[in-house]
A and B are shown apart, each in its own frame.
Chain A
């Protein structure tokens, strides 16, 4: 649905996005992660035909970015939530949505229906006639998300959809995105929130001007770190460590009363390890599987 090949953007002599190659399937939720200034917003703006590309190619559905004849088509099938919500403060919530509905030529009846549906869903229906200037940041953000959906777009571009939101509002927005995912919409989002990316994205890409990595969140974690078994004991002693070492050539870390073992096949190896520790006189409190968080992976990739 979204296909970029060597997409590049230069501002004078600063390269903001460098040879980005990326494919997002229909119905997929794709998250772009990256530090400030990594080129995430620039990427979205190019894909939404708001700024020109300097090099490479990109297509949305079957339409080509940079092709004047296709731009109009692309704009009509995408919905964009920009970094700054850009609502009209002087107008009411209802009028803001209605204006955009008209701009996309949504029929009056459908417009009314959708506006009511979204405003109710996002808990803003009671405030529909209040001017947006009186809204809190979170309310504005939610309203702006409703705005991106008013014309029922196939593809959604969300630039940091939960930035500035309190945990509950973020939750509402996240659940909302997950609902949209069920409707088979393609969603491309930028975020700094790794936990969020992991929860809602099918795949994530890590961008730092160039695309550093792209995969399913759990794959990214495993490929970088491998799997570890963490065993919490009463006390760790040399006999216990030696017993574990005899079982296999694993990397063993000792942290207080914990043993952290870099296993390769936890299902087969963990029972033997537990057995050996018991025989060596160790008393086990917990056995847990640990994997690095997406944050660990992110930091490692971004720093290198």
Chain B
């Protein structure tokens, strides 16, 4: 694996994505809404009178999980574009004629989807944490964020979820011929996370450190399995000749 080549592919994709306004905004808008919207909910709740500390903390933990869902959904736009977009522009043929390997191309495309998503997530989470701390300090008597749970979410669960989302998208993208279908199929990725969230809401599981570690372990296993799957199913010849 030549990282320089992968990085070349990534920077190329990033500069195209920057020009494709719809994809670019899809990556920033959702995080932006959440970084302001979630603290706004906290504010509304606080205005209505004091709620028990335990419930407030439960709410805040659930919010941090929202960022995982958001990150895995907002990277879909980019990763769908990265293979299907090349098919549509018919630019895959000259690209595959270069000495770059499948692994280098796929890794580069993964980076192109990962970087903007993780940056947008970190920025929006930072805004969210500052606003939330300001709003809850009076009641809790301490700054709730940053804490170990959100650190786990940010540095473990979210990156693993974005990677999984990308891999799924590459698998899907190699098999469909338009960007929209790829995005819609990619959105299936959000479902397991919603299920986890609902399970937490109805009290079957609690979104604590142990749960996040378990989710991370499952994500990591899925990431590894899908990496091999997408590499073995990335058949140049079929991708090239089936687009007609």
User: Distance (Å) between the CB of B4 and the closest chain A CB?
Assistant: 8
In the complex, identify which listed stretch (A70-78, A114-122, A255-263, A266-274) lies at the interface while the others stay far away: A70-78
Stretch of A28-36, A46-54, A184-192 contacting B (4+ beta carbons < 8 Å)? A46-54
Q: Assess the A52–B98 pair: CB atoms within 8 A.
A: no
Q: Does B231 contact A (CB under 8 A)?
A: no
Contact B89 A82 (CB under 8 A): no
Q: Residues of B contacting A148 with CB < 8 Å? A: 94
Asked if A91 contacts B15 (CB within 8 A), the reply is yes
Name the interface residues of A87-107: CB closer than 8 Å to any CB of B. Answer: 87-91, 95, 99-100, 102-105
Scoring B92, B93, B97 by chain A CB atoms within 10 A of each residue's CB, the highest score goes to B97
A269 to B19, CA, bound (A): 71
CA A147 to CA B95, docked complex, whole Å: 11
By beta carbon, the residue of chain B nearest A79 is B97
Are A51 and B94 neighbours in the complex by a CB distance under 8 Å?
no
Query: Is the pair A72, B99 in contact by a Cβ cutoff of 8 Å?
Result: yes
- The residues in A between 25 and 62 inclusive whose CB is less than 8 angstroms from any CB of B are 45, 48-52
0/1 string, B4-35, CB within 8 A of A gives 1: 11001100100110011000000000000000
Contacts of A100 in B (CB 8 A): 94, 98
Task: Indicate whether A84 reaches chain B with its CB closer than 8 angstroms.
Answer: yes
Contact indicator A82/B94 (Cβ below 8 Å)? yes
C-alpha spacing A188/B184, complex, angstroms: 43
9-residue interface stretch from B139-147, B171-179, B236-244: B236-244
Given contacts A91-B16, A99-B8, contact A50 B89 (CB under 8 A): no
Residues in chain A near residue B236, CB distance under 8 A: 50-51
Residues on A with C-beta less than 8 A from B94 are: 80, 82, 86, 100, 144, 147-148
**Chain B hits for A82, CB < 8 A:** 90, 93-94, 97
- Interchain CB contact under 8 A, A104 and B98: yes
Check A51/B99 contact, CB under 8 A, given A80-B93, A82-B94, A86-B89: no
How far, in angstroms, from A147 to B90 measured CA to CA in the complex?
A: 15
Which single residue of chain B is at the shortest CB-CB distance from A73? B99
How far apart sit A82 and B91, CA to CA, in the bound complex (Å)?
9
Total count of chain B residues near the partner, CB < 8 A: 26
Give the docked Cα–Cα distance between A104 and B95 (Å).
10
- Nearest B residue to A84, CB-CB: B90
Residue pair B12, A90 in contact (C-beta under 8 Å): no
The distance from the CB of A169 to the nearest CB of chain B, in whole angstroms, is 20
Q: Are A86 and B91 in contact (CB under 8 A)?
A: yes
Chain B hits for A95, CB < 8 A:
12, 15
Residues of A within 8 A of B240 (CB): 45, 50-51
User: A147–B94 Cα gap in the complex (Å)?
Assistant: 9
Q: Mark A136-163, 1 if CB is under 8 A from B, else 0.
A: 0000000010011000000000000000
CB–CB A50/B96 < 8 A? yes
Complex contacts, A90 vs chain B, CB 8 Å: 15-16, 19-20
Q: How far is the CA of A90 from the CA of B14 in the complex (A)?
A: 11
Task: Name the one of A99, A104, A147 contacting B99, with C-beta atoms under 8 angstroms.
Answer: A104
Minimum CB–CB distance from A143 to chain B (whole Å) comes to 12
Q: Is the CB of B16 within 8 A of A78?
A: no
Query: Once the chains are docked, how many angstroms separate the CA of A76 from the CA of B2?
Result: 15
Which residues of chain A come closer than 8 Å to B97, judged between CB atoms? 48-50, 75, 78, 80, 82
A72 contact set on B, CB distance < 8 A: 99, 101
Q: Which residue of A lies closest to B19 (CB)?
A: A90
Complex-state Cα separation, A21 to B240, whole angstroms: 25
Please indicate the chain B residues that have their CB under 8 angstroms from the CB of A76 in the complex.
99
Shortest distance in angstroms between A196's beta carbon and chain B's nearest beta carbon?
22
Give complex CA distance A161, B5 in Å: 28
Query: Contact: A103 with B98, CB < 8 Å?
Result: yes
Interface hits, B69-127 → A, CB 8 Å: 89-101
Q: Kindly provide the distance from the CB of A149 to the nearest chain B CB, expressed in whole angstroms.
A: 12
Chain A residues within an 8 Å CB radius of B90: 82, 84-86
Does B92 lie within 8 Å of A86, measured CB to CB?
yes
CA distance A105 to B99 in the complex (A): 10
Q: Which 5 residue pairs of A and B lie closest in terms of their CB atoms, listed nearest first?
A: A86-B91, A84-B90, A90-B19, A80-B97, A102-B8
Q: A49-B97, A90-B20 are in contact. List 17 more A-B contacts (CB 8 A).
A: A50-B93, A50-B96, A50-B236, A75-B99, A76-B99, A82-B93, A85-B90, A86-B89, A87-B89, A88-B16, A91-B12, A91-B19, A99-B12, A103-B95, A103-B98, A103-B100, A104-B99
Name 16 interchain pairs, CB-CB below 8 A, sorted by A: A45-B240, A50-B96, A50-B97, A51-B236, A51-B240, A72-B99, A75-B98, A82-B97, A86-B93, A86-B95, A87-B89, A89-B89, A95-B12, A100-B98, A103-B98, A104-B98
